[in-house]
Amino acid sequence: MMKMHVGINVTDLNKSIEFYSKVFNAEPVKIKIDYAKFLLNNPGLNFTLNLKDEVSGNQVGHFGFQVESLKEVHEHKERLEKLGFFAREEMDVTCCYATQDKFWVTDPNGNEWEFFYTKGDVESITTDTACCTKQPEKNEVKTSSACCANG
């Protein structure tokens, strides 16, 4: 079996371990002073946290989990909200050339994660849906949601 590997840089390893343990609903398989590793079977993912002195926010577009149904979106959202996360919901949005139901959570270093269900493909995207509008986060104002960021 092949697993995707994602390694991200973090500034607070303990906060990041706490965040990802809750999001993945799993504990790391390895923890060192400057490193943590999660090995997930569903989805197949080798995910590592690498401690750095400084991290400059979301250095990628975004991360996400595509699920099989709207019911799964709601189950993950309810689970994470019960654990104290703020989940930004976007239902029935046209984004990334698809109509989707989703929600977003943000890790301690500003990386955005979406849990989404794709209801159908569309031929074009618009910039007036919730997915593509400005979303203030703490003292930061974003120019667009991660799903519509270029580069």
List strands edge to edge, sheet with 98-106: 63-66, 112-121, 98-106, 88-95
Which domains, ranges and CATH numbers included, belong to the chain? 4-51 (3.10.180.10), 63-148 (3.30.720.110)
pLDDT of amino acid 147: 46
Residue 63, pLDDT score = 87
Q: Where are the alpha helices (DSSP H) in the chain?
A: 13-24, 70-82
pTM: 0.69
φ, ψ of residue 63 to 5 degrees: the values are -120, 160
pLDDT at 143: 28
- Residue-level pLDDT at 4: 84
- Which are the contacts of 7, defined by CB distance < 8 A and separation ≥ 6? 47, 48, 49, 50
Q: What is the pLDDT of residue 3?
A: 79
pLDDT of residue 59: 58
What is the per-residue pLDDT for 104? Answer: 95
pLDDT at res. 139: 35
d(CA 111, CA 97): 22
Query: Measured in whole angstroms, how far is the alpha carbon of residue 127 from the centre of its chain?
Result: 21
Per-residue pLDDT of the chain (151 residues; tens, 9 = 90+): 667 889 898 999 999 999 999 999 999 999 999 999 999 998 889 888 888 888 876 557 678 888 999 999 999 999 999 999 999 999 999 887 889 999 999 999 888 999 999 998 888 765 444 454 434 343 332 323 444 433 3
**pLDDT given for residue 61 in this prediction:** 66
